[in-house]
Structure 1
Amino acid sequence: MDENSIAWVEGALVTIDQRALPHELRELRITTVDDLIDAITALAIRGAPAIGVSGAFGVVIAALTHSTAGVVDTERVTAEAHRIADARPTAVNLAWGVRRTLAKLPQGVQAMLDEALEMLAEDGRVNLAAATHAADLVQRLCPARPLRILTHCNTGRLATTAVGTALGALNVLHQRGALAEVIVDETRPLLQGARLTAWELTEAGIPHRLTIDSAAAWAMATEEVDAVIVGADRITADGSVANKIGTYMLALAARHHGIPFIVVAPESTRDIATASGRDIVVEQRGAHEVTGFGSVATALDGTRTFNPAFDVTPPELVTAVVTEFGVLESPGEARTAADAQTQRMYREPPAANTNGSGLQRAPEVTKGGLPKRGSSASSEVTSGDLPKRGATESDALTNGARPSSGSAWEPEPGTGSFFDPPAPDTTTDEYLAALTRSVTELTQGQPKAAGAGRDIAAIARGLYAKGWMPGTAGNISVREGHIAIVTASGMSKGELTENDMVLVRVADSAPIAAARRKPSAETTIHTAVYRAAASAAVVHVHPPHATALSVGATDVTVRFSGFELIKGLGGNSPHTIDIPVFRNHADVPTIGTDIERYLTDHPDAPPVLFIAGHGITAWGETLAQARDRAECLEALCELVTLTGRRDITVGDHGFEEDSQ
C-alpha cells in the first residue's frame, strides 16, 4: 500500500488492521457495510481522518450492494449511511465523509466512488499542508535548536490515509534536522502510542522514547519537553478540542510549565455547528479495556470502570490549532457557532522583528518558547500567547461584534443552503435524511449564498464604474471554509446580481454542483491564493496604470519605496514593498499554479500581485480589505506614472527558483 494506509482495490476497501500492530502488518479487506462498522468500532480502523475516508467508501459499498441493473435503492443506501455515521459518535469526520459521498447518490455509483477517491487523494495533500504549517509554527515558538516534542495517541498515516497530522509535523521537523527526539505517551488503555506511533516513528527513523502517560507532566517539569503536539477528533466553534483521553491533562501541564500546546487537524475536523465542548457526546467504551489487556486480567472480575475514549480540552489551554489553511490563532475567542462562521480567524504568521541593521531579531521568549506579553515581537498577543500583527476588524468579532457593512459577509437568517452546517441540535439521522431529500434539487440548480453574493455584486459594480472591470473582465470571490463563492463567467460586472455567483471547491476549483452559469475562467487564480495564503476574499481586476506598469516584466518583483500608500498594501514594511509579477499564460490554470508555488515558498509575500500585461490580484481577511488593497496598488502605480519616478526597481527578489 506504499505510503497510504487506505486504498480502493477491485471493489473493496483495503487497509491496515491496526489491532495487529506492531508485531504483524496485517491487511484488512472490507467488502460489506457490516465489516466496515465492525472494523471502526473495534479500532481496526481508527483516527478521525481515516474513519472519515473509510466512511465515504462505506457508502460506496452500500450503493454497490444495493444496486440492481444499474438502479440504486436510495432508501437502503441511506439507511446504511445512517449506520456507518453512528459507528463512533465523537469524531466529526465520520459523518462528514458519509455526507459528502451520499451527496453524489443522485448521480450514480460512479460519481460516489469518484468523490470517495477524491477524498482519499485530498487527505494526503491536506495533511502535508497542515503538517508543514505546524512545523513552521513550532520552530517560531521554540528555541532555535533540535527540539524535544511530546505527542499523544497516534496521528500518523495510520490515523489518516497518508502523511499524518501531528505526527506529520514531527516528520517535517525531522526532515529539516530540527527534531532531537519525540517523547511518546503509551496512551492507555489501548496503547496506541506504544503500538502504533512508536512503530511509525521507527519506520521513519525518528529518534523517540516511550513513556507512561502519567510521566508526561514530570517530563515537562524536568525540561525534557519543548512543545506538545497532538491531533483532534473534533474542534467545536469555541475552540474546544476533543481528542484521545489524556489530552486534557497534557494541556493543563503544558500551560502550567509555559510550553506550547499545539493541535494539528484537517479543516474537516472543525465542527462549527457544535457551539462548545459541553455539547460533544463522548464515547464510553467497555470495561474490558481497563480491567485487562489482551487475555491477561489486571483487575478482579466485576470491577466497575470509567472508560471515556476521549476528553475535551477547553480553548484557553490551546496555544494554536493548525489546519491545512494555516494557524488558527486564539481558538477560544469565538464563543458561538454564528460568530465562528462570520469570523476570519486565520491570520498571517507573526512577522519577525528587525533591528536597526536589518538583521532578524527573535522575540523575547519565556521558558518553553512562548513569546512574552509585551515583548518586541508585537504589542499585542492573543489569549493563546501567539503574537499577532495588530488589531483588525476581525478582532472586534471575537468580542461579539458583527461585521460592519461591506467588510465581511454573513448569510441572512433563513437563507442557508445545503452547504451550511446542521443546527447544533440536529441528529445525524435527521441531517442525512434531509440531505437525501434535497440532494437531487441541489444538483439541478445553483445554490444561493445571498449575503456574499450581494456584497460581491455591490463591490463589482463599483470597480466596473472605475473602468477596472471592462466588458465581462475581472472577477471577485469570497471564501467560506472549503467553498469559494465566485463571480460567474461572461457577466458584465456593472449588471451583476447576487444570483450571478457560482460555488466552487477551494481544493480543485470544480463547481460544487450543476449550475446555470459557469465560474469565471480565472477561478484557479482565486483558489490558488486561498490554498497558499491566509485570505477570505480575492479581487482580480484590470486597472490601467497597474496593468501598464507590469507590461514586459515577467517572473520578477517590482520594488516600491518612499510612498505613503505602501502602508495600505498589507506588506511587512510601511516603507518598501516587493510585489511579484507573474507570467501571463494563455492557459489560466498555469498562472494559478505559478502563484500557488510562489506564495507557498514565500509566506511573507504581500497580499497583492501583478500578472504581466494582464491585471492585478489582491486579497484580504474581508472583501472590503481586498478591494482597498487593489485600490491602493493602482493609486501607487498612477503616482509612479505621474511623478516620473525612476527609483522603482525591478529585481528577482525570490523568483530565482521559480524562473523558467
Structure 2
Amino acid sequence: MGAATPRKPGFSLYWEKDAVMAVDQRALPHAFELLRLDSVDTLIAAIQNLAVRGAPAIGLAGAFGVALSARAHHAAGAVDDTAVQADAARLAAARPTAVNLAWGVRRALGRLPGGPQAVLDEAMQMVAEDAAVNAAAARRAAELVGSLLPDRPLRLLTHCNTGRLATAAGGTALGAILKLAHHSRVAQVMVDETRPLLQGARLTAWELGEAGVPYRICVDSAAAAAMSQGLVDCVLVGADRIAANGDTANKIGTYGLALAAARHGIPFIVVAPESTWDHDLPDGSGVAIEERDPAEVTTYAGTAVAPAEASVFNPAFDVTPAELITAVVTEDRVVRPRPGHHEKPLRHRIAELVKEFPDYPKASIRYQDLSPLYADPGLLADASEHACNHFSGRFDRVVAVEARGFALGAVMAARAGVPLTLVRKPGKLPGEVQSVSYALEYGEDRLEVQQGAIAPGERVVCVDDVLATGGTLRATAELVEASQAKVAGAVVLVTLSGLLGAAQLQRYDLLSLCEVAA
C-alpha cells in the first residue's frame, strides 16, 4: 500500500490499472492523497486503519477486495474458489458493525462463477449505483427537511462524516445538507468534531469548506448545549446498520445527539442507502459494537494524555433506538419509526377526523367536533411534533386556552420540555389574576391567568383548538403581553375558513394545522 500521485477524482474510491484507488482519509485536511491498494491485505489494512471509512464506502471496498482476490487466485482459466472465499471472510470481518461491508462482499461473490472480470464489473457497477443512490437519498432527505422546516434558512447539525469521502460520491446526510445549501436553505452547519478520530473536524469541515457552505466546529459535548440555545433546527446523520425495527447503529455519540434532539423537539433524521438495512436483525440489541485501540483515547499526536495504567472504554459505534428517530430516509422511501407517524400529510389526517354536526348547538350553526383527533394519540403526538419543530428554539413557555387547547398545549410543553400555563374563564383560578375581555358575536367574555404565571421576557406560544373569529387567541396574546412577555406565535389544530380569525392575529406567527369550512 502506497501513496499515489495526488489528484481529485469525482469518486472517493475507484478501479485503475489493476488496483483500487482510494482517498487516504487519514491525511485530510492537511493533504489530499490517493492510496493504491493492489492486494486483499492492503485493502483490509486500509479499512481497519480508517484510511477508507464510511459504511457505503467500505461496502464498495469489500466488493473490490473480492475482485482483487479473484484476480490473484486465477490461473489456467480457473479461480481457486476456496482461496477467494477465505479472503472474502477476512474482508467481511474487517469491521463488524457496518452491514454494508458484508453486503458488498456477498454481492461480489455472487459473480465469482463468471470469473475475475465478472466480479470486477459487478464492483464497478456498485460504485455507479452508489453515486445514484446517494443522490436520490440526499434529494429525498432535503425535501423532507424542507417540508418539516419551511420558509427559512436552517441551522443544521451533523455528526462524523457522511459526504463523498464516506461513499462513492455525493454523500448521504452531508449530501442532503449540500442539496439544501444549493437552494439557499442553510444558514450554518454545526459540525461535531467526532471523537476520538475527529472525522467531523477533519473531513466534514473540509468537505463543507470545499463546497462553500458556512460551518462551525462543535466539540461533541457541546452539541446538546447548542440545541438548548436554539442554535440547531435539525440533526442529520448517517448509519452503519439499521435493524428491522429502525434501531440505528452509527458513530459513537449519535445516541446522545438523538436524546438531546428529542428533549428539545428537534427533528432527528437518518440518511442511508437501503443496503444499510439489516432486515434479519430484529432490533439494535444484536448489533456487534466494535471497540477500538485504547491508544486513540490515551494518547494525542503520539503523546500520552492519560495515566499509563488507565483502562479505556472506546466503542466505535452506538445504537439509537427507533423511537428517538424522526425519519430514516433512503433512496426509495421515508420510514418514520416513531409510533404514530404517517406518510399522509398532517392537514389531511386532521381534516378526515373532524366531524361536522349541523344545527348544533342551535339552528344554522355547523359545529366542527374535534373529539376524534384527541382519540388518536398518534395524531396528537404528530401535531405536537410539527408545532414544536415550527417554533424550534423560539419559545420558553406554552400558554394553553381553556378547555380543549389544554390537550395540544400539554403535549407540546412535555415534548419541548418547557412550562405550561393555563388560561381560563373567570372564577376558575385561585389567587390574584390578570384578566382581559374580548368580544363575542353577542356580548363579551373574559379570560384570566394567575399573576406571575408568565415571567417577563419569556417567549410564549399560545395554543388553542379552533380559530374562528380570533377573539380568544387575541385575548390570550394580550394576557401574555400584559405580563411583559413576548408572543412567539400561536398554534391551532383547525381554522374555520371564512370567519376571518387569522386577521385578528396578523401581528403574530400563526401556525394552523388544518383549515375546514365554517
TM range (shorter): 0.5 to 0.7
For 1:297, the equivalent position in structure 2 comes to: 304
Inter-partner Cα distance in structure 1 for 2:106 and 2:339: 27
For 2:233, the equivalent position in structure 1 comes to: 226
1:367 and 2:359 aligned: no
Inter-partner Cα distance in structure 2 for 1:212 and 1:91: 25
Residue pair 1:141, 1:370 contacting (<8 A) in 2 also = no
1:27 and 2:34 aligned: yes
Inter-partner Cα distance in structure 1 for 2:116 and 2:335: 37
1:40 and 2:47 aligned: yes
RMSD: 2.6
For 2:200, the equivalent position in structure 1 comes to: 193
Alignment map for 1:38-187 (pairs within 5 Å): 38-187=45-194
Deviations 1:119-149 (A, max 9, x none): 0000000001000110011111114200000
TM-score computed with the length of structure 1 as normaliser: 0.52
Inter-partner Cα distance in structure 2 for 1:64 and 1:182: 44
Residue pair 2:325, 2:336 contacting (<8 A) in 1 also = no
1:239 and 2:246 aligned: yes
CA distance change for structure 1 residues 287 and 252 in 2, over 3 Å: closer, same or farther? same
Inter-partner Cα distance in structure 2 for 1:184 and 1:235: 23
3-state DSSP class of the match of 1:158? helix
Inter-partner Cα distance in structure 2 for 1:221 and 1:144: 22
TM-score computed with the length of structure 2 as normaliser: 0.66
User: 1:110: how far off?
Assistant: 1.3
For 1:350, the equivalent position in structure 2 comes to: 345
3-state DSSP class of the match of 2:388? coil
1:314 and 2:335 aligned: no
3-state DSSP class of the match of 2:387? coil
Inter-partner Cα distance in structure 1 for 2:241 and 2:349: 38
2:279 maps to which of 261, 266, 272? 272
1:204 and 2:225 aligned: no
CA distance change for structure 1 residues 148 and 155 in 2, over 3 Å: closer, same or farther? same
Q: Quick check: 85-94 or 299-308, which moved more?
A: 299-308
Give the partner amino acid of 2:190: I
CA distance change for structure 1 residues 66 and 332 in 2, over 3 Å: closer, same or farther? farther
Paired positions, count = 360
CA distance change for structure 1 residues 3 and 351 in 2, over 3 Å: closer, same or farther? farther
3-state DSSP class of the match of 1:312? strand
Residue pair 1:315, 1:332 contacting (<8 A) in 2 also = no
Inter-partner Cα distance in structure 2 for 1:332 and 1:238: 11
CA distance change for structure 1 residues 29 and 332 in 2, over 3 Å: closer, same or farther? farther
CA distance change for structure 1 residues 106 and 210 in 2, over 3 Å: closer, same or farther? same
For 1:284, the equivalent position in structure 2 comes to: 291
Give the partner amino acid of 2:179: V
3-state DSSP class of the match of 1:368? helix
User: 1:354: how far off?
Assistant: 12
Residue pair 1:124, 1:161 contacting (<8 A) in 2 also = yes
Inter-partner Cα distance in structure 2 for 1:277 and 1:145: 35
Inter-partner Cα distance in structure 1 for 2:92 and 2:49: 15
Residue pair 1:237, 1:273 contacting (<8 A) in 2 also = yes
Inter-partner Cα distance in structure 1 for 2:54 and 2:301: 21
Which structure 1 residue ranges, 5 or more long, are not aligned? 334-344, 357-362, 376-380, 386-660
Residue pair 2:245, 2:337 contacting (<8 A) in 1 also = no
Inter-partner Cα distance in structure 2 for 1:85 and 1:151: 28
3-state DSSP class of the match of 2:334? strand
CA distance change for structure 1 residues 23 and 86 in 2, over 3 Å: closer, same or farther? same
Query: Identity of paired residues, percent?
Result: 57
Which structure 2 residue ranges, 5 or more long, are not aligned? 1-7, 352-382, 393-397, 399-403, 406-410, 416-518
Superposition misfits of 4+ residues, deviation over 4 angstroms: 351-356
User: 1:247: how far off?
Assistant: 0.2
Residue pair 2:299, 2:306 contacting (<8 A) in 1 also = yes
User: 1:302: how far off?
Assistant: 2.4
Inter-partner Cα distance in structure 1 for 2:129 and 2:326: 27
User: 1:303: how far off?
Assistant: 1.2
Q: Quick check: which has more Rg, 1 or 2? A: 2
User: 1:355: how far off?
Assistant: 13
For 1:401, the equivalent position in structure 2 comes to: none
Residue pair 1:239, 1:332 contacting (<8 A) in 2 also = no
